[in-house]
Chain A
Amino acid sequence: MITEKQIRDLQAKFHALVEEIRSVIIGHDEVIQQTLIGLLCGEHLLLEGVPGLGKTLLVRTLGKALGLKFARIQFTPDLMPADIIGTRILIEDEAGRRHFEFAPGPIFAHLVLADEINRATPKTQSALLEAMQERTITVSGETYPLEEPFMVLATQNPIELEGTYPLPEAQIDRFFFKILVRPPSLDQLEQIIDRHGSGQSALAIKHVLSREDILEAQRLVASWPIASPLRRYVARLVDATQPTSENAPGLVKQYVEYGASPRAALALVRGAKAHAFLSGEVHTRIADIHAVFYPSLIHRVIRNFRGEAEGVPVDKILQEIFHHVRPE
């Protein structure tokens, strides 16, 4: 039986975690919040933004604040799957006997930063994505489970397309959120200079949450109450992304090739629950759904040729859906 005190304690800890991250990461409050939502849901995130915006710093800070094992994989074209998941190596013991022993790759961590994931070959990408999905690694017929909490934060650079392997839509769909990391504002930039201008960006991060706290929070969020009209509202929102739907607005019918999958609906509901938790509430609100609407759907709505040719941004299509579908 959950008591209010337990909920309050957990919410306070997460609040402290946010504050801890904000002490290092200037601006990007929305990114921090969405990252924590992904953590609370035990899902993987795709961060998109130009280099130098603090993506890696954010993940590293998060790992330190949580006291979790953190790993970073820099994806390159010559990166092999074994470089990610690990491999069996031949070991010779003191008696001279040789045997294969599994050497786990960097994926065997709680928080994995897959930096510039679109630079690796599809074979390597799919190895990572399979591990993300299955939460297990199978090498030479042996299966190795990944320890919870397990969270992959992949980043990709939207401007350098040469020599990259963009993720296919089916694989992008496996990311819970796609978080757009935008450049800081002028004030935030000034604060960044002021704080990190000395070149000694010592990460004096306090450990505010234990692994058990995270797992407890994940269980709590999973059971977070959400009313049936809100579930229906989510379903209608996702349904409206389908160009064949009667509820779809004009922009969707005109510029969308494929709408969001049911996974998007799940992401919306779970993300809304986690957002409600982080907001200090004990139930899910429509405002929580709205808060996770864009990151849940932006990578799941695939434009058609016309939409891409005319440069209609997905944000605009989502905005149209948002205003078109109202709670009833």
Chain B
Amino acid sequence: MNSFERVYARLERRQRLLHGLSALSGTLLITLGLTAIALIVSVFVSPISPVWWLGGNLVLASLAFVWGWFRPLDMTSTIFRADRNAHCDEKLITLYELSLGQGPKEFLPLLVSRLETLRLDLSTALPITERWRWLGVLALALLCAGMTSVVPPGGFLWGALSESTVSTRPSQSAPISQQEARTAELLQTPPTAIAEKLPALRSRLEQARAALAQNPNDARARAILHQLQEEIRQEQNRLLNPPLDEQAPPPAAEKSSDDASLVEDPAGDVRTDRPPQGQSALDRLMQALRELQGQAQGLSPEEMQKLLEQLQQENPEAVSIAQRALQTAQNDEEFSKRLEEALKNLEARRDLHQQLEQLQREAQSALSQPEPPQTARSQTPGSPDESAQPSQEGTQDSQETDSEESPEGARQENARPSGGRGQAPLDPEAVKDLPDLSQLRERTRSTSVPAPQEENLEILFEIVSIGLPQNPDTPGQPTLVQIDYQKVEALIDALEIPVELREAVRQYFLSLARR
């Protein structure tokens, strides 16, 4: 192989490389552009896995490079360009054509001998052009990488390469952000609105208790107490949790009673037969911080880091608070001071929480007072329940007058779905059409939720439906509903009503009471 053949081979490889790179950059420009558009669109639809777009781009780019490499070459123009760029004075192109037999062959050895002294710099002879293309490719690649790290929350391009990481990222990132938000919330002084609200809550509790003392069957007082309990529960949650209502609760499988998290039961159901979970967790957190405060004295940064790592599993929130304090503290004293401030805030929260807890207990005890047996007849006239308790026998004079003056009016009145507020005695003709009450009771039992306490159910749903007319011409379907609201609360807890539906059930009965 003479010197020209070597030069020729190098030039050919270089040109193929340039063709390949040109095809590669062109393809990447198009595919990355499309990828960027797709990633932008995916913000509104669903994230595209980096594995797919990165892999797709790489495959297409590889194919383009191979295609470019094997593209037919115009070696005449290639060598002429190299000749001009490398200032070879057209030796290469003349040699090339002479080697192809174009021209007097006797000049070939003369030129080859002159070429041996020539040092050809390929990067000068055939430089990589289209730099703007590569800049475009770089810009698009950065855009796509940026989009990828933005679209799935908290994710990064390379960290998300494995499927497993991709699939678990959202569930992992959410608790981290929750914990950070909760830590930030806990380190603040408790909201003054809660402390200001405490006297008002107590006042309402006392009023409800007084009403219940006078009349244990006072449904309104009970409703007020239930409402109070709910409000107290919300305030307790506000004390312990950051405002993360829009976030989904963590999966049930991940929860346990020993969880150090301060998040209470999602339904806010605080049981009175065990210590409040949030309060104990607050105590544990404060205890951990105090221990950390004591242990951190005189520790080097590395030792401190080790200590925090050990504590991470045990109490991640304490670690989070400590790390925040470390970030802002310059020395041990400042660190201790920051922890002290955090502890003060936590103590203030715990005190408020305890006061709310006390209110909660008092409300619960008021609600659980025994009540005398009651019937619909024994209700005190003019009591708040009277409006909600339909009078089966129509004791009010005005109602009697109305019904006497207009029997048809009584019939229409009975037809109201509210179930007989101010009803006159039932028309004997209409009563004939009503189904037997005992049958209705039987039917109610058979259609209700199977419960172990059928007697209570009976009390609860003493619904007298003066029923479905046998005769289609009957204009009204008077329905009497008689509910013992005192029993409702206990039964809601006793029955197998799903926790998240209890409030709905309670509200339903309260709405009946208002009528």
Contacts and interface: CB of A to CB of B under 8 A. Distances in A.
A228 B76 contact: yes
Contacts of B76: 228-229
A322 to B, nearest CB: 16
A287 B89 contact: yes
Contacts of A79: none
B77 A229 contact: yes
Interface residues of B, number: 22
Given A228-B102, A229-B80, A282 B90 contact: no
B93 interface: yes
Given A224-B107, A229-B90, 10 more contacts: A2-B107, A225-B97, A225-B104, A225-B107, A226-B103, A227-B93, A228-B93, A228-B97, A283-B89, A283-B94
26 contacts: A2-B104, A4-B110, A224-B104, A224-B107, A225-B94, A225-B98, A225-B103, A225-B107, A225-B111, A226-B94, A227-B80, A227-B93, A228-B76, A228-B97, A229-B77, A229-B80, A229-B90, A229-B93, A282-B114, A283-B94, A283-B111, A285-B89, A286-B84, A286-B90, A287-B89, A327-B84
A283 B77 contact: no
A282 B111 contact: yes
Given A282-B107, A282-B111, A227 B97 contact: yes
B107 A283 contact: yes
A129 to B, nearest CB: 33
Interface string B66-104: 000000000011001000100001110110111000111
Interface string A258-289: 00000000000000000000000111111100
10 A-B pairs with least C-beta separation: A283-B94, A225-B103, A227-B93, A229-B80, A282-B110, A285-B89, A2-B106, A227-B94, A223-B104, A285-B90
A95 B33 CA distance: 106
A223 B114 CA distance: 19
Contacts of B94: 225-227, 283-284
B226 to A, nearest CB: 92
Interface of A: 1-2, 4, 7, 223-230, 281-287, 327
A282 to B, nearest CB: 4
A284 B90 contact: yes
B368 interface: no
A236 to B, nearest CB: 14
Interface in B95-125: 96-98, 102-104, 106-107, 109-111, 113-114
Contacts of B102: 228
A110 B106 CA distance: 30
A226 B93 CA distance: 9
Nearest to B110: A282
A132 B111 CA distance: 36
A283 B118 CA distance: 15
A7 B106 CA distance: 11
Contacts of B90: 227, 229-230, 283-286
Nearest to A281: B89
Contacts of A284: 90, 94
A227 B99 CA distance: 11
